Amino acid sequence: QVQLVESGGGLVQAGGSLRLSCAASGIIFSSNAMAWYRQAPGKQRRLVAAITSGGSTNYADSVKGRFTISRDNAKNTVYLQMNSLNPEDTAVYYCNTKSRGRDYWGKGTLVTVSS
């Protein structure tokens, strides 16, 4: 079955950086678009960044210029490099993909940015 496992979250000071990883299994990774979403306390889950199978990317306006999504098809892993973090980036970050018309999610990794 499809499994997505996130890692790399933690506590960081404002202005700092983190790199999230999402290891995927159960899919033909190189053929799948992948995405990162985040959900802050009391708020809806929202798209942060996405990358197509061909490597095209798109970002939420709030993270453009600070976050970079990338993928390593040899490792079945998608990354989210997060720079210049601020407290508004505090959230649980989820990895997402779609397979056969269904959405799949990881369990999430918590990112906390202190001021």
Residues of the chain with pLDDT below 50 are: none
What is the SS3 assignment for the chain? CCEEEEECCEEEECCCCEEEEEEEECCCHHHCCEEEEEECCCCCCEEEEEECCCCCEEECHHHCCCEEEEEECCCCEEEEEECCCCHHHCEEEEEEEEECCEEEECCCEEEEEEC
The predicted pLDDT at position 107 comes to 98
The predicted pLDDT at position 51 comes to 98
The predicted pLDDT at position 58 comes to 98
The predicted pLDDT at position 78 comes to 98
